Structure 1
Amino acid sequence: MRDQYDRPAEPAARAADVWKVYGEGEARVSALRGVSVEFARGRFTAIMGPSGSGKSTLMHCLAGLDSVTRGEVYIGATKLTGLGDAGLTKLRRTQVGFIFQQFNLLPTLTAHENILLPLAIAGRKVDKEWFRTVIDAVGLGDRLDHRPAQLSGGQQQRVACARALVSKPEVIFADEPTGNLDSRTGAEVLGFLRQSVHDFGQTIVMVTHDANAASHADRVVFLADGQIVHDMANPTADGVLDTIKRITGER
């Protein structure tokens, strides 16, 4: 099925000359400095860079979790820049999925209820066939009645992955999704994210510091000092490490 995603596709998300500035005067810090980047549909992109490079700020601006100082951000055809709180809230509920390092599951809800929570909040009906497809993909069929405390870290993150995917978002943003997992469990989660791109055509943008995690992506965008400094297709762990070392040495 992969060849259908090898053709050029319109962006699922993009930033155009985006600046993000914090503070004023001597305390002024430019976290992003004129960043322009596109994320094609049906692709898995990793964002990497040294600490303070702006990678998390870029993801937050792309996802509508933070505003930009200057420039424009789009999710699909929707321009986030200038949207009010109500518009941003609706967009995050309907067009964006999130996976965080801390899982962010509600402890009093079962796995089933946590997965369907975004749909319940948005007042949307459950596509039962798609729900079953997602559950089968993450291998949670026998864990749906369990609460987070009854699940392993890897199982909790798979619940979070299913929650992000079940609403069929335009793009899923993953912030260090394997940061709290051991290497084997992390590889399982990354394998699922890779599968969701290959089998379902999902778009994923992942912030990570892990070269092995980045090697699961189709592409890696490298930031340093708030600017994109390198763009790598078909990454390998060794290639990513070499690039990070070079970027760090250049700073």
Structure 2
Amino acid sequence: MTAAPLAPHTLRTRPGIAAATTDLSKVYGSGDTRVVALDQVSIDFREGEFTAIMGPSGCGKSTLMHCTAGLDTPTSGNVRIGTTELSTLGDRQLTQLRRDRIGFIFQAFNLLPTLTALENITLPLTIAGRRPDQQWLDRVVSMVGLSQRLDHRPAQLSGGQQQRVAVARALAARPAIIFGDEPTGNLDSRAGTEILGFLRDSVRELGQTVVMVTHDPVAAGFADRVVFLSDGRMVDEMAHPTPDRVLDVMKNFDTKNVGTKNVGTENSDARSRTS
């Protein structure tokens, strides 16, 4: 029996929540090689909001994104996209959910070299056997500035243009939530700023929900809020971030010894000023 399609934007954990984790843990290995990548992380990603995930190298930020997006399986805890609990889905249903309700943007672009920009943008819809909403597609293509480049293949595009294609591809199916793993990591500062601006516009103008992993305070400054991880735990968050304020928080991280109490206390004033 074929499962019914999981339509975007129709199911919610509760009003305003696009995705959520509860007591999410991820452990690799055992004994002396045991590594706790995530340690009981509970977080909501609100609809129509741009959230950046930050923290020291190895703190678990990419693991959090991969588990929330259904790309990795947690050791314990729960993940929901809307009201859909990921642990209740079989492999086929999980694949369908990722295809229909989640968009992905990675720093490697992941474009097929033999396809044009337009064909790359619409590829997920083609695989799903769905026709694009032409009005929506035109709006997305216009927003990312690709109207004159749709017939070009990736080799004929700059790195920034290729990432624009990746952004448009993520938006084309109108997913419930978009995840970006260092989406500007392979770009120069000008192209990176353009991509971040497009993501910001997708939230403000299109009502999109975006979750981005980044190590860059400037990139985090485009977000509505930043959540900070350390040693696999969520230790702080900041609303209305600016690059300088984010950098101040990051300077307080000691990758060998940082605790929730210390980081939260140091930034409680910053949170009160922005809440």
TM-score by length of 1: 0.95
> Which residue, 11, 27, 40 being the options, matches 2:33?
27
CA shift, 1:9, in A, is 5.0
Once residues 198 and 191 of structure 1 are traced to their aligned partners in structure 2, the CA distance between those partners, rounded to angstroms, is 10
Aligned length: 244
Once residues 75 and 128 of structure 1 are traced to their aligned partners in structure 2, the CA distance between those partners, rounded to angstroms, is 26
Cα pair 1:41 1:202 within 8 Å, conserved? yes
CA shift, 1:125, in A, is 1.6
- Superposition pairs of residues 133-148 of structure 1, within 5 angstroms: 133-148=139-154
Once residues 218 and 247 of structure 1 are traced to their aligned partners in structure 2, the CA distance between those partners, rounded to angstroms, is 21
Once residues 89 and 253 of structure 2 are traced to their aligned partners in structure 1, the CA distance between those partners, rounded to angstroms, is 35
Q: Find out whether 1:186 has 2:206 as its counterpart.
A: no
> Which residue, 154, 168, 172 being the options, matches 1:166?
172
Q: In the alignment, what sits opposite 2:22?
A: 16
Structure 2: any 5+ residue segments left out of the alignment?
Answer: 1-13, 259-275
Other structure's SS at 2:21 match: strand
Q: What percent identity do the matched residue pairs reach?
A: 64
Amino acid at match of 1:126: P
Amino acid at match of 2:34: R
Once residues 133 and 18 of structure 2 are traced to their aligned partners in structure 1, the CA distance between those partners, rounded to angstroms, is 22
Q: In the alignment, what sits opposite 1:154?
A: 160
Q: Find out whether 1:229 has 2:213 as its counterpart.
A: no
Q: Find out whether 1:99 has 2:101 as its counterpart.
A: no
Q: In the alignment, what sits opposite 1:218?
A: 224
Q: In the alignment, what sits opposite 2:214?
A: 208
The runs of at least 4 consecutive aligned structure 1 residues that moved more than 6 Å come to: none
Q: In the alignment, what sits opposite 2:264?
A: none
> Which residue, 76, 80, 87 being the options, matches 1:81?
87
Other structure's SS at 2:122 match: helix
1:156-202 Cα distance to aligned partner (Å, 9 max, x none): 00000000000000100001011011111110110000000000100
Other structure's SS at 1:91 match: helix
Cα pair 1:21 1:31 within 8 Å, conserved? yes
Q: CA RMSD in A?
A: 1.1
Other structure's SS at 1:123 match: coil
Other structure's SS at 1:132 match: helix
TM-score by length of 2: 0.87
Q: In the alignment, what sits opposite 2:3?
A: none
Structure 1: any 5+ residue segments left out of the alignment?
Answer: 1-7
Once residues 182 and 11 of structure 1 are traced to their aligned partners in structure 2, the CA distance between those partners, rounded to angstroms, is 33
Other structure's SS at 1:160 match: helix
Other structure's SS at 2:99 match: helix
